[in-house]
Structure 1
């Protein structure tokens, strides 16, 4: 079996997936197509579908007018190794979007993202419960994650 996430865009699907694949290393658009037949969402050619990857994850997308808006019940989490990676993704994705707490943001299309340091999971799973608690408390106060600050809290 293969599992593929599927995203429904009201409009601008090609711009969105082109943007996403440009940000995440190892990503690509496999194909984009328009449905040649009339569909419940519009006349021939008005509905577009695409296949793409973000890193090692497979996605499909459709552009077929309004249905349900993206919400927090689905998000894309990107684990970053460096602060530079976090900063780059955060700055790019927040443009035209909305920033939130704990490494969350919504991009200009309304899709939710979690931009987190890989190190956060290691620190929160530390065998020292006091260290893990300090890190968790610091994380909950952050908007964009700061690896150096998380490391400093862990050492305190």
Structure 2
């Protein structure tokens, strides 16, 4: 049983699109359950939400998430991000290509995807690669993490 399950509020009625996008990006992923808003003709509290996702349960690379089409009241921001510890440079490059959508938000391994979610795409051994002042200085100049450059910066 998951102890903490992130819940994502999609503000632009694009929850279904986002979930399917993420299912294609991450291995070992599944869409587990979806509940839709009721027909607005039956319940006027949900005007404009007919056919949108009220709740969805899904797994990305084995991690459970919840999501909903919540409307424009709340938006994602950089105060919350998801960290992707990567095995090697090829994995970093893969996730960077798939998730980076806002170049001005890129810094030190951070990207923002097309739905506004921030991701930290870093090597699994990031702590080992940023032990010296030279390595930290090199990392601070990077957008996408370059493992070889961090190793060389010792």
Calculate the TM-score normalised by the size of structure 2: 0.84
Corresponding residue for residue 19 of structure 2: 17
User: Kindly tell me: are residues 40 and 112 of structure 1, through their superposed partners in 2, closer, same or farther at Cα, counting changes over 3 Å?
Assistant: farther
Corresponding residue for residue 50 of structure 2: 45
Deviation of 1:84 (Å): 1.1
After TM superposition, the structure 1 stretch with the greater mean CA deviation from structure 2, 142-151 or 47-56, is 47-56
Deviation of 1:7 (Å): 0.5
Where in structure 1 do 4 or more consecutive aligned residues deviate above 6 Å? none
CA distance in 2, matches of 1:50, 1:42: 20
- Give unpaired runs (5+ residues) of structure 1: 125-130
Could you list the per-position Cα deviations for residues 43-76 of structure 1 after superposition, in whole angstroms to 9, with x for gaps in the alignment? 5635412111222322100012211111011111
Corresponding residue for residue 127 of structure 1: none
Calculate the TM-score normalised by the size of structure 1: 0.83
CA RMSD between the two structures: 2.1
Residue 17 of structure 2 aligns to a residue in which SS?
Answer: helix
CA distance in 2, matches of 1:104, 1:4: 22
User: Kindly tell me: are residues 153 and 132 of structure 1, through their superposed partners in 2, closer, same or farther at Cα, counting changes over 3 Å?
Assistant: same
- Write the mapping of 1:7-156 to structure 2, written as runs, cut at 5 A: 7-10=8-11, 11-36=13-38, 38=43, 40=45, 42=47, 45-48=50-53, 49-95=55-101, 97-98=102-103, 99-124=105-130, 131-154=131-154
Contact 1:50 1:61 (8 Å CA) reproduced: yes
Residue 19 of structure 1 aligns to a residue in which SS?
Answer: helix
Deviation of 1:23 (Å): 1.4
User: Kindly tell me: are residues 39 and 83 of structure 1, through their superposed partners in 2, closer, same or farther at Cα, counting changes over 3 Å?
Assistant: farther
Contact 2:37 2:46 (8 Å CA) reproduced: no
